[in-house]
């Protein structure tokens, strides 16, 4: 099982040994260590992974889980 944690004003932390990240062609990114973090701020120079730039730019995000809300599945 994988867990993705939306970090406060930071990246998506991805935990789980059974998770892979692929590009639009289905090519797999090499993941050097786990858990790993995916960029949410858009400023990483190592996308799709977080490189810590969110702290330098003062990234702030407002989203948080809302009880009872549902998201649509990705297509």
Number of residues that bind ligand FES (CB under 6 A): 12
SS3 70: coil
Question: Can residue 14 be called a binding residue for ligand FES (CB under 6 A)?
Answer: no
**Residues forming beta bridges with residue 62, ordered by sequence position:** none
Contact 11, 4 (CB under 8 A): no
* String of contacts with ligand FES for each residue 38-67, x by CB under 6 A: -xxx-xx-----xxxxx-------------
- Interface residues with ligand FES (CB under 6 A) are 10-11, 39-41, 43-44, 50-54
């Amino acid at each position: 099982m994988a867990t993705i944690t939306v970090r406060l004003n930071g990246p998506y932390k991805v935990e789980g040994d059974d998770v892979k990240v692929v590009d639009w062609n289905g090519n797999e990114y090499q993941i050097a260590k786990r858990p790993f973090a995916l960029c949410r701020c858009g400023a990483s120079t190592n996308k799709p992974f977080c490189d810590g730039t969110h702290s330098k730019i003062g990234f702030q995000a407002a989203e948080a889980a809302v009880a009872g809300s549902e998201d649509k599945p990705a297509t």
